[in-house]
């Protein structure tokens, strides 16, 4: 006689006999910490679970292991000094965080960035999205024992980092955005480099997809595992791939187009069931759409300056700073006193790799932000994690944790 897994405790086979049997057998719930330091808990996340056998009956999560007081720190920095701190939020796609912060400040200043800056932000931003998805898929598959895919994805990620290295001098924490534009223009030969690494990344996605899509182990471990319905996802504040995997077609690039996203032709992939399979697969499709956007943006890349022409906002050219007293004073004033942002508060967000990355900024009119609140997508996604994994097995929880792509840097700030 076969017993469905997990039902053993609730339905003893033979009442009289079974009770005798269980009295001697230790059948209490077992409590177990998954994390905070565990290779399968990406970063320092702790999930405390009550187990019946290998089935998770109840789960609670504890975060804050990487809390470093981002929001407190930046209240004591000038507006431009905040940018390197934003790199450390989602460090897998650092430039997107820079751009998100710059976007809200630009709105408070009431300025429009130049068309070239907007197009470059789109190109670099989509590259970051591709990298983020490569990392997510690669590490997620490692958690399921498919180490090969990790090399496939991380090799190609290196190519993107080489381009970013040439572009801004940093691989991981780019600080590429500036209020009013960008740190640097493309170097000579950036366009072919980018097109090359986009092609290579697409190959990686194709190879990895071919490796896993019909893999029995992968299918068994992800199909119908840890489903999250659209209602649940909306109630928990899910955004990005995790929300779309549950079947909600929502993307800020389409809903509130910024930086000219409305000019580009791309689709929003949507899942159906919101299981782990959908959450992983949607990233493949999204990355391909990103590649499409990059090619279009490169094709129509406008010329012109990369920063707004406003001496109160953008730093002068280095040559000007070093050879001209006005340029030096301009530089000095901006560095020491900061950009003056008008008094008021504003919320703005972009579609980051993990979902809606929002900044709610309050300014008192000085060169320092009065309050910067980050709305990280991971924070809300992880708040739904306990509910997501309850009723599943431990091994499913591991695969699911990878699929929701929690980045401790932006989770704990």
**CA distances in angstroms from 217 to 151, 226, 351, 399, listed in the order given:** 19, 16, 32, 12
Q: Any contact of residue 151 with other proteins (CB under 8 A)?
A: no
Exposed (0-12), middle (13-18) or buried (19+): which is 69, by Cβ within 10 Å? exposed
- Per CB under 8 A, the segment of 84-92, 113-121, 261-269, 343-351 that binds other proteins is 343-351
Does 207 bind other proteins (CB under 8 A)? Our answer is no
Interface with other proteins includes 389 (CB under 8 A)? no
Q: Which of 8, 111, 234, 268 binds other proteins (CB under 8 A)?
A: 234
Is 309 a residue that touches other proteins (CB under 8 A)?
no
Of the pair 241, 384, the CB lying nearest other proteins is at 384
Binding flag, residue 21, other proteins (CB under 8 A): no
Nearest-approach distance from CB 66 to other proteins, in angstroms: 9
User: Binding of other proteins at residue 240 (CB under 8 A)?
Assistant: no
CB 390 within 8 A of CB 57: yes
SS3 174: coil
Task: Report DSSP letters for 62-116, one per residue.
Answer: E--TT---HHHHHTTS-TTTHHHHHHTTSGGGHHHHHHHHHHHHHHHHT----HH
CA distance 184 to 85: 19
Choose one: 160-168, 198-206, 313-321, 364-372; the region binding other proteins (CB under 8 A).
364-372
Choose among 198, 180, 199: nearest CA to 109: 180
Specify whether the CB–CB gap between 268 and 244 falls below 8 A: yes
Closest by Cα among 104, 254, 96 to 179:
104
* Burial of residue 77, with CB atoms counted within 10 A of its CB: 0-12 exposed, 13-18 middle, 19 or more buried: middle
Three-state DSSP state, 380 = helix
Instruction: Confirm or reject binding of residue 235 to other proteins (CB under 8 A).
Output: yes
Is residue 384 within the footprint of other proteins (CB under 8 A)? yes
User: Is residue 370 at the binding interface for other proteins, with CB under 8 A as the rule?
Assistant: yes
What secondary structure letter does DSSP report for 329?
A: H
Which residue from 148, 215, 321, 383 is in contact with other proteins, where contact means CB under 8 A? Answer: 383
What span, in angstroms and rounded, lies between the C-alpha atoms of 408 and 410?
Answer: 6
Among 34, 41, 45, 59, binds other proteins (CB under 8 A): 59
Contact segment (CB under 8 A) with other proteins among 67-75, 192-200, 308-316, 323-331 equals 67-75
Helix (H, G, I), strand (E, B) or coil at 170: coil
CB atoms within 10 A of CB 144: 22
302 neighbors 116 (Cβ within 8 angstroms)? yes
Interface residue with other proteins, options 38, 88, 107, 340 (CB under 8 A) = 107
**Chain centre to alpha carbon of residue 241:** 9
By CB under 8 A, residue 72 contacts other proteins: yes
Q: Which is nearer to other proteins, 262 or 317 (CB)?
A: 262
- Total site size for other proteins, rule CB under 8 A: 59
Selected from 184, 360, 394, 395, the binder of other proteins by CB under 8 A is 360
* Nearest-approach distance from CB 226 to other proteins, in angstroms: 17
Which residues between 245 and 304 bind other proteins (CB under 8 A)? 248, 250, 255-256
Residue closer to other proteins by CB (options 17, 255) is 255
Q: Please, how many CA atoms are within 13 Å of residue 186, restricted to the half-sphere of its CB?
A: 20
Smaller CB separation from other proteins, 108 or 127: 108
For 386, the enclosing helix (H) or strand (E) is: helix 385-389
Q: Residue 364, interface with other proteins (CB under 8 A)?
A: yes
User: Is position 88 an interface residue for other proteins (rule: CB under 8 A)?
Assistant: no
Interface ranges with other proteins (CB under 8 A)? 9, 27-29, 31, 46, 48, 50, 52, 57-60, 62-64, 67, 69, 71-73, 75-76, 107-108, 110, 232, 234-237, 248, 250, 255-256, 343-347, 349, 356, 358, 360, 362, 364-365, 370-371, 373, 375, 379-380, 383-384, 386, 390, 412-413
């Amino acid at each position: 006689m076969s017993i469905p897994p997990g039902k053993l405790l609730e339905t003893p086979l033979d009442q009289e006999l079974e009770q005798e049997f269980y009295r001697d057998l230790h059948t209490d719930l077992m409590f177990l910490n998954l994390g905070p330091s565990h290779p399968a808990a990406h970063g320092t996340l702790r999930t405390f679970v009550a187990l019946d056998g290998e089935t998770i009956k109840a789960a609670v999560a504890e975060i804050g292991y990487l809390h470093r007081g981002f929001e407190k720190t930046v209240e004591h920095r000038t507006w431009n000094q905040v940018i390197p701190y934003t790199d450390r939020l989602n460090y897998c796609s650092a430039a997107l965080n820079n751009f998100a912060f710059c976007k809200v400040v630009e709105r408070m200043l009431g300025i429009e960035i130049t068309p070239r800056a907007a197009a470059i932000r789109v190109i670099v931003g989509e590259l970051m999205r591709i990298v983020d998805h490569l990392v997510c898929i690669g590490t997620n598959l490692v958690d399921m024992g498919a180490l090969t895919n990790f090399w496939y994805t991380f090799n190609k990620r290196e190519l993107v980092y080489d381009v970013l290295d040439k572009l801004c001098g940093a691989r991981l924490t780019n600080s590429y955005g500036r209020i009013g534009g960008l740190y640097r223009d493309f170097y000579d030969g950036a366009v072919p480099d980018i097109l090359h690494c986009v092609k290579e990344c697409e190959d990686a996605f194709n190879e990895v997809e071919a490796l896993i899509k019909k893999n029995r182990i992968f299918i068994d471990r992800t199909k119908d595992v840890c489903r999250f319905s659209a209602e649940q996802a909306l109630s928990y504040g899910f955004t990005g791939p995790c929300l779309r995997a549950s079947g909600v077609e929502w993307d800020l690039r389409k809903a509130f187009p910024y930086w000219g996203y409305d000019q580009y032709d791309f689709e929003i992939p949507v899942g159906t069931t919101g299981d782990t399979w959908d959450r992983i697969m949607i990233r493949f499709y999204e990355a391909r759409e990103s590649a499409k956007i990059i090619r279009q943006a490169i094709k129509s890349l406008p010329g012109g300056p990369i920063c707004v022409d406003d001496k109160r906002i953008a730093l002068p050219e280095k040559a000007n700073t070093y050879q001209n007293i006005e340029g030096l004073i301009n530089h000095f004033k901006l560095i020491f006193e900061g950009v003056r942002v008008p008094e008021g508060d504003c919320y703005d967000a972009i579609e980051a790799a993990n979902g809606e990355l929002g900044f709610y900024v309050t300014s008192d009119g000085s060169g320092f932000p009065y309050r910067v609140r980050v709305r990280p997508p991971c924070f809300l996604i992880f708040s739904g994690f306990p509910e997501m994994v309850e009723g599943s097995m431990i091994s499913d929880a591991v695969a699911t944790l990878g699929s929701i792509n929690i980045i401790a840097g932006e989770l704990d700030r």
